[in-house]
Copies of this chain bind each other. A is one copy, B any other.
Amino acid sequence: MVREGNGSNAGAGVLLRILRDGRPRTRAELVQLTGLARSTLTQRLDALVSREWILPAGEAVSSGGRPAVAFAFNRGARVVLAADLGATHARVAVTDLGGEILAEHSAEIAVDRGPEETLGRLHRTFEEMLAGTGRTRRDVCGVGVGLPGPVEHSSGRPVNPPIMPGWDGFPVPEWLGSRFDAPVLVDNDVNIMALGEHWAARPATDHLIFIKIGTGIGCGVISGRRLHRGAQGAAGDIGHIRVTSALDTVCRCGNVGCLEAVAGGAALAARLRADGVEARDSRDVIRLVRGGNTRAVQLIRQAGREVGDVLASIVNFFNPSVIVVGGDIAEAGEQVLAGLREVIYSRSLPLATQHLTIAASELGDRAGVVGAAVMVIEHVLAPGTVDESFATA
């Protein structure tokens, strides 16, 4: 628990964590807040100012007579490169240290062409966007990437990702890190969506579940305001929970009865085709729902109920205060939310649902890219990282 203070640079991290809320503070306030000796504080402030992590923020009124200099966090000190890669679509951004998007780009991709091609294109896009914002590689403090499959977060490598041939075990952080000389953090897409939504829209929520209903189904889990990744980074993988309504359906994972096999976008498209309606994928399903196709609307509402049935149990177990619903199927409208709510409120325990909010994502398709940036910012401003960075400077 006592992580700051393991070396002679202790204190830089503490200062940044205090100042990052944006409010300028005087030396006297910082001594009071940190308990650091005044001489130590001055050393740390000098080091942070010389590297522009903080700026002297004009003069603040002190309690004594003469005005005191205040110091403020410089969110423009560095930039973050963030990417949310899906199976067929990518969203890429450059943000400042406050998570604000400075430049943004989205494109069609084919993640199944393998890591070299996909990351090569990402690398070129990052370079172009950096140039476009007038920054250089030296300004990059970190790179965050979300991938559409399981990732071992500690190594940043995909682990048997079902829709990403060629990516299993690929060293994404080393590949990108050697090109930007900065730490690279990788996680799966729903984890970064949960991070982004929590950070931008619901920072005061302690326990949150972000469920993505797209081609597949998965969720990101926030416990005590921190991402719960689980022992193997596999937490939130609810798409393959067995549901009784699907016992005659074989899932792409090889098992029968998976939630995804009845309620995922690919499954809904297949059901529509079986009914003679043309639908290749989840996007076609959404198009049909928006166009008022009765069968599609009926299917999507039933999908909401199926997902709700699984979430009803999870609500009893986890007792979140908010369930955020995202992914393209969910964005298709209120039908999915209605189905979810119908089942969760009738099946979960009253104590667990009395203050439970079930709502659509506020960030929509930006949740992932914002979360990828937040993942990097949290890492860069974490106790050990900042202090070490000053020790090796």
Chain A: residues with CB nearer than 8 A to chain B?
A: 1-2, 4-6, 8, 10-11, 14, 17-18, 32-40, 150, 159-160, 206-207, 219, 221, 223-224, 226, 228-238, 240-242, 244, 253, 310, 312-314, 316-321, 347, 349, 351-352, 354-356
Contacts and interface: CB of A to CB of B under 8 A. Distances in A.
A235 B207 CA distance: 10
Instruction: Please classify the interface of chain A as helix (H, G, I), strand (E, B), loop, or mixed, using the class held by over half of its residues.
Output: loop
Given A37-B36, A228-B223, A241-B317, A352 B234 contact: yes
B5 A320 contact: no
A230 B34 contact: no
Number of chain copies forming the complex: 2
A352 B318 contact: no
A171 to B, nearest CB: 19
A160 B350 CA distance: 11
Nearest to A255: B347
Contacts of A160: 351
A307 to B, nearest CB: 13
Contact of A33 (B2, B35, B221): B2
A223 to B, nearest CB: 4
B36 A316 contact: no
Nearest to A209: B317
A94 B313 CA distance: 38
A234 B319 contact: yes
A35 B223 contact: no
